[in-house]
Every structure is written in C-alpha cells, then in structure tokens.
Amino acid sequence: MYRDFAVFIPKEDVVFKGLRILDVLTGIPRNEVRRMRERVIELIPRVLYRKHGSSSGLRARKDAFDIAVEGALQRINSRLKAGDLDQ
C-alpha cells in the first residue's frame, strides 16, 4: 500500500554508500510522480477530521473518524459471526 504514494530510501545507503536522496527522487518518472500524487489526494479524507456542522459537500464524504468506526464495527461483526466474542 505504501508504495502507492511513498518512496523508501534505505538510511544505510544514504549514510554509508553516499546515495543522494535528490538523485533517487529525480529519477522517478513524471507519470509515476503524478500517479503517487493522485493517490495521496485520494487518501487525504482518511487522515482529516471534519468539523461538526461543516458544509454538505464535506458531510457527504467519509473522514478519518467515519473510517475508524467502520473498521471497528467490521471487526466486531466478523468476530461475532466467527463466535470469537464472549457473550
């Protein structure tokens, strides 16, 4: 998942092998940078919290709280279906 929007540069390569971060980043093709940027833009609502009473356009989108609650409910439901929760 992180490869969709991040570049991993090993610290050891920078410190001990003299790898230049700028060289790595400028070596990424423009279309790949564009794709990564678009992915970051898609992820923004997942890390932002909407203000109570915000515009209707923002209320229609899920924010980080909505996603966290949905994830917790999905885990609870799957555990209930599997019989993993103590009654």
Structural domain contains residue 60: yes
Domain of 56 in residue numbering reads as 2-82
- Strand, coil or helix: what is 21? helix
- Strand, coil or helix: what is 26? helix
pTM beyond 0.75, yes or no: no
Number of domains in the chain: 1
Would the CA dihedral through 30, 31, 32, 38 be positive or negative?
positive
**In contact, 63 and 49? CB cutoff 8 Å:** yes
Q: How far apart are CA 73 and CA 78, in angstroms?
A: 9
Structural domain contains residue 87: no
Q: What is the pLDDT along the chain (87 residues), one digit of tens a residue?
A: 778 889 999 999 999 999 999 999 999 999 999 999 999 988 887 777 777 766 666 666 777 888 888 989 999 999 888 886 665
Structural domain contains residue 9: yes
